Amino acid sequence: MRWSHAFIPTLRDDPADAEAVSHRLLVRGGFIRQLAAGSYSMLPLGQRVRLKIIDIIRHEMDAIGGQEVVLPTLHPAEIWKKSDRYDLMGDNLFKLEDRKGVELVLGMTEEEIFAILAAELSSYRDLPQIWYQIHTKFRDEPRPKSGLLRVREFTMKDSYTLDVDRSGLDVGFDLHHAAYRRIFARMGLDTTDVQASSGAMGGTESVEFIVRSEAGEDWIVTCTACDYRANVEKAVSALAPVDDGDSEDLERFPTPGLRTIAALAEAHPDVAAPERQIKTLVYFVDGTPTLVLLRGDHELQEQKLLDATGAASVRPAHPEEIRELLGADPGSLGAVGVTGIPVIADVALEGRVNMTTGANEDDWHYRGVDVERDIDVGTWADLRAVSSGEPCVECASPLELWKGIEVGHIFKLGTKFSEAFGAYVQDEDGENRPIIMGSYGIGVERAMAAIVETSHDERGIVWPVTVAPFEVVVTVLRVDDAETMAAAEDLDRRLREAGLEVILDDRPERPGVKFADAELVGIPFRVTVGPRGLERGAVEVTVRRDMSTEEVEVGDVVERVSALVEAARADIIR
C-alpha cells in the first residue's frame, strides 16, 4: 500500500466537539468521521483496526467451540413485547412502523432471537451449544458523546450459551470469562473484571470487563488490599456499627428554615448528626410513588433501586408531586406514620433507633424515631452508593473508587427467554426443561476507542502491534531522488514478502509532515530511508512506543524489523 494512493485524511487541529482523547485522535488520524450524533463512518485505517479486533474475537470464540451466525437487526415488536422488554428498554429501543403499520424495533441486543432459534432444539443431547455473531446493534442513546465510546449504531459480538442445567451454564460462563481475558490481552488492553448489575438483562450473575480510564462512565470499586472489585451499581462496603442505645419516645420538634441534612445537623448536633438522620426520597417506580429511605450521610444508587424492585424505570418525583403526596416540600419529608405508599429502606437503617426525620410538615421534624417501630417498611434492600475510603466488606481495608470503560459484559441469564419463547428440551428422564442461557457481549468500536484511551502520547496514537492498521511504515525522505525511491520500494517489497503489513509513504511532503502523520496514526515501527543514510548503506528504524531510533544496515532491515514486530507481539500476548 502506498500512502499517496490511500485515503488517510489526517487533521492538524482537534475537532471542536471532541471530549475524549480517543475521539480527538481517531478523527485527527483519519480513522473515523461523524455522520450524525452517535453515528460514525469507519474510514480505511479505522476499518483495518476494526477488522483486526474482530479477527481476535472470532479466533477466541471459535477456540471455545463457538458457532458463528448472523441474525436480523430488524425485529417484529411483538417479539420484544413477549419477553417484556419492549417497555423495559424504554426510549433506548428504536421503535418504528413499516408501510403496513406493523410495529418493528431495531435490535439493541438479541436474546429474544437466539431463544427463538434455540426452540428448534429438542433433546439434552443437542446441548451444550455456543452461538455467536458479530453484528450491528442500535441504541437510541439520549446523549451520544466521546466519539466511539457512546454511540447509537455499533458492532457487537454477542454470544449465547445453551445448556440443560446450571452446571453446564457455569462451564459456558467460565469458558467465556477466560476467552474474554485472552481477547482483551491480545488487543493490548489491561482489564479488570468486576461484579456488576445485570440490569434489564436479568439473570443471576454478571461480570463486566473494565479498562481504567478517566474517559469512562462507569465507577468501579476495588479494595486496596484484597481481590474485592465491583461496579458501583453492585458494590457494597462494611458499615461501622452505630451506637443507638435504648429506644426513646417519638417527639415532634420545630425546625424552621432547615431544609438540608447539613443544616439540620448544624442546628441540632445532639440528635441530628448526618448518620442519625433518615433521608426520605420520593421516587416513581414503574409509575408508583414510593418512599426511599437512606441514612442521612448516604446517597442513593439508582441501579440498586431498579434491581431491588425489578422495575423497568424509576424517576425522582417532581416538587409539586411530592407536596401533593405528602403535604410538605423536600427537606421536611419522612415516612413516620405514612400508610398507603410503598416504603423501601436501605439495610443501613435496619434496627436503628433514636433517629431524626421529617414530619411531612414544613419546618417540623421527628426525633427519637425507632425505624422498625415507627415506620412501615415494606422492603429492605441494599440501596446506597459506596464511597471511597469505606471499609471493604471482605477484609475491612479502604476501598478505592475509580472510573473505567466497560469493554465486555457476561451474564448468566437463566431461563427467562427460553421460557418466553418455548425453548425446552427433554432431559435424560424425558421431562421437558427450559434451556438455561448465558449472554456475553463485546463492543467492537468501543474496544477500539478504549485501546486509544490507554495507548497514546502527545504525538498521537500508539497502537499495539496486534491491532495496528499497519505494522511498518517505510518513510521516504526524498521521493524525487531515484536511488532513494528505488531503495525504499525494494525495502517495502522485502518487508511484505517477510509477511509484514507495510505502507510506503511516497508522498512529496516534507519529512516533518511525514513523521508527524506516522506518529499521529500510530504505526508501531518506522523505517526511514534517505540519501545520507544510504550513502552509509543504512536506514533508521524507529519504535513508535518509546520513539527510540537505531541505524540498521540495509541488508539487515528485514530481519531486524521482523524481530521487533515478533517481540512486540509476544510482549502483548504474554
The CATH number for 122's domain is 3.30.930.10
Q: What is the C-alpha to C-alpha distance for residues 372 and 351, in angstroms, rounded to an integer?
A: 7
Distances in Å between the Cα of 214 and the Cα atoms of 21, 87, 104, 152 are: 10, 32, 37, 21
Please say if the pLDDT value at position 476 is more than 90: yes
Q: Are residues 257 and 178 in the same domain?
A: no
Q: Mean pLDDT across the stretch 275-286?
A: 96
Q: Are residues 477 and 569 in the same domain?
A: yes
Please say if the pLDDT value at position 190 is more than 80: yes
Q: Mean pLDDT across the stretch 19-48?
A: 96
Angle in degrees, 0-180, between the axes of helices 166-186 and 44-63, rounded to the nearest 10: 140
Q: What is the C-alpha to C-alpha distance for residues 480 and 507, in angstroms, rounded to an integer?
A: 10
Share of the chain above pLDDT 90, in %: 91
Please say if the pLDDT value at position 244 is more than 70: no
Q: Mean pLDDT across the stretch 448-470?
A: 97
- 202 pLDDT band, cuts 50/70/90, is low
Q: Note whether residue 426 is domain-resident.
A: yes
Q: What is the C-alpha to C-alpha distance for residues 434 and 217, in angstroms, rounded to an integer?
A: 36
Domain count, the chain: 3
Angle in degrees, 0-180, between the axes of helices 482-497 and 557-573, rounded to the nearest 10: 40
Q: Are residues 151 and 188 in the same domain?
A: yes
Q: Are residues 175 and 224 in the same domain?
A: yes
Q: What is the C-alpha to C-alpha distance for residues 211 and 190, in angstroms, rounded to an integer?
A: 6
- 198 pLDDT band, cuts 50/70/90, is low
Q: Are residues 160 and 217 in the same domain?
A: yes
CB 520 within 8 Å of CB 29: yes
Please name which of 112, 115, 32 lies closest in space to residue 73, comparing C-alpha atoms: 112
Q: Note whether residue 306 is domain-resident.
A: yes
Q: Are residues 364 and 447 in the same domain?
A: no
Q: Are residues 120 and 214 in the same domain?
A: yes
Please say if the pLDDT value at position 383 is more than 90: yes
Q: What is the C-alpha to C-alpha distance for residues 136 and 13, in angstroms, rounded to an integer?
A: 31
Q: Mean pLDDT across the stretch 413-437?
A: 95
Chosen domain end from 411, 433, 453: 453
pLDDT, position 52: 98
Q: Mean pLDDT across the stretch 547-557?
A: 96
Please name which of 559, 536, 560 lies closest in space to residue 548, comparing C-alpha atoms: 560
Q: What is the C-alpha to C-alpha distance for residues 103 and 400, in angstroms, rounded to an integer?
A: 46
Q: Are residues 272 and 355 in the same domain?
A: yes
Residue 562: domain span: 462-573
Q: What is the C-alpha to C-alpha distance for residues 42 and 30, in angstroms, rounded to an integer?
A: 9
Produce one character per residue of 456-479: b if its CB has 16 or more CB atoms within 10 Å, e if not.
Answer: beeebbbbbbbbbbbbbbbbbbbb
CATH of the domain at 525: 3.40.50.800
Please say if the pLDDT value at position 314 is more than 60: yes
Burial class (CB in 10 A: 0-12, 13-18, 19+), 152: buried
pLDDT in tens, 430-451: 999 999 999 999 999 999 999 9
pTM for the structure as a whole: 0.91
